[in-house]
Amino acid sequence: MEEMLLHTENIDEATAEVEAAGGHILLQLGHNLLVAKVPSYVAKQNSFSQASAHIPSSASVQSLSHANAYWMAREDELKPQPTVQKWTERTAPMAFKREDSDKRFQGESPYSPTMTGKIAFAILAASGPGSLAISDSELQKIESECITGLKFWVNQAQKNVVSLSFYVYYGKATISASNPTSCSSYAACHNVFANPTLQAFGFSTDQTGRDQVAQHIKDRAGADGAFFGFFSKYRQRHFAYAYFGGGPLYMQYSNDGWGSDQIDRVFAHEVGHVFNAPDEYTNCKCSTSYGKGSCTARNSNCKTCTSSQGGCIMDKNDLGNLCQSSKKHIGWC
């Protein structure tokens, strides 16, 4: 199988063609690009009537930006990969419970209790004044790192015969807020950039506004669920964190000691939290069951719950491994 970036004017028909040729869709980037895995002979022939590996010069600015982010991610795959480290070896990314987490999946919820089917994801970049600005190439870098992080999950899903693809959007809000000098709480800092970003896109600044962002991208993508992340250079109480049960996630571009080149790994870990997978490197509750979907499991790959811990993104910055218990936590039975 070979991975291809395909441009199409008709996503549905192009998807059907890829599937009829024995391939499958990993990602959809904006409205006209598909990242597909197809049998090698199909890739060589590039024989699709509704899709082509050639990106036309008439493609939209958004499509060209998505394509640049994709090729940035492919180039990074060829570079030497960082040493696998426990999250505790540097500053560990964090996660938080939400008080209404069980209500989040009831009724017409934009959130999916499991990481399955088609999931819409949006990068919301908060670009501030001066040194807080996010340039277009930095936004492409963020997207390229997210693409690698999402491909980790999609490739793991493929190995486990789980249907999963992501529909990726990005949006940049240029805001005037200055950097807070200290953070008395997580919200005290993230609201400084998240609220004007939500307003710039026409959403309210409360939880309802956040839920509406998820609903909006879910509807536009015709997806089964949605989540989104704020990315900025603003001060945060902690450099990276996510909320269980749908997000959002908040990430600083500098990515603390991990650096921007490992946003992919930190992001992939946080996506695990968004879909209810707990940490395995510390503070584990060994008798609690996790997962919101059709299957649940104890945190049996946590270092305090086993004497033979296996490799896992929920334990290390490891884009090669996903353990059995994390699979159950995100709904892969």
Specify the stretch interacting with Zn ion by CB under 5 A; choose among 70-78, 200-208, 276-284, 286-294. Answer: 276-284
Name the minimum Å distance from CB 206 to Zn ion: 26
How far is the C-alpha of 147 from the C-alpha of 3, rounded, in Å?
Answer: 13
Cα dihedral across residues 51, 52, 58, 64: positive or negative: positive
Q: Which residue has the tokens 């870098």?
A: 141
Q: Which residue has the tokens 């989104």?
A: 228
- Return the number of the residue (50 or 321) whose C-beta is nearest Zn ion: 321
Specify the stretch interacting with Zn ion by CB under 5 A; choose among 41-49, 88-96, 156-164, 247-255. Answer: 88-96
Peptide bond into 196 cis (omega under 30): no
With CB under 5 A as the contact rule, the residue among 17, 145, 211, 279 that binds Zn ion is 279
- Return the number of the residue (95 or 154) whose C-beta is nearest Zn ion: 95
Three-state secondary structure call for residue 30: coil
Q: Which two tokens stand for residue 319?
A: 């884009």
Task: Tell me the residue nearest to Zn ion as measured from the CB.
Answer: 279
Yes or no: say if 60 and 204 are a contact pair by the CB < 8 Å rule: no
Q: Cβ neighbours of residue 102 under 8 Å, at least 6 residues apart?
A: 292
- Return the number of the residue (230 or 241) whose C-beta is nearest Zn ion: 241
Name the minimum Å distance from CB 131 to Zn ion: 28
Name the minimum Å distance from CB 269 to Zn ion: 6
Name the minimum Å distance from CB 249 to Zn ion: 11
Name the minimum Å distance from CB 93 to Zn ion: 5
Sites of contact with Zn ion (CB under 5 A) = 95, 279
